[in-house]
Amino acid sequence: MSQSEPHATPIDIPPGDDAVDPREATAALTNYLVGLALAVLLTAVSFFVAGTTLVWQPSIPVALSVLAIAQMGVHLVFFLHITTGPDNVNNVMALAFGVLIVLLLIGGSLWIMDHMNHNMMPMDEIMRMQR
């Protein structure tokens, strides 16, 4: 190393290149494996509920909705690491904002589709115009 080159310090280490504590790596792997097991279990239960006659038929959409929400929760906590801890406030706020935008888009689309029939020309007038 020449005199003009700066000395490497621990601050210069890029993210991901620092030393990994084996206990932290084991805890992270365990966390991912628990999440994987829960995700696979919820997926299997969803397929079972949808394909069996043991479940009361009108309750199937509700059961699938509950299982889908649980699946999203598993993914958020175990894979995206979005928790309610003090260091995750920005992540939770970004998630809440994203959910708000999606709900506004879905609600607006449903509202537009519901009112589209009211604003359309009656079918008999359309048929007369085509003659």
> How does pLDDT run across 18-36, given as a tens digit for each residue?
777 888 889 889 999 999 9
Give the integer Cα–Cα distance in Å for 34 and 28.
10
Quick: pLDDT tens for 87-102.
Answer: 778 888 888 899 999 9
What is the residue-wise DSSP string for 79-104? IS---SSGGGHHHHHHHHHHHHHHHH
Tell me the average pLDDT of the chain: 85
Contact yes or no for 43/74 (Cβ under 8 A): no
CA 84, chain centre distance (Å)? 16
Residue 85: phi, psi to the nearest 5?
-65, 160
**Is this structure's pTM higher than 0.85?**
no
Question: For 104-109, what is the mean pLDDT?
Answer: 96
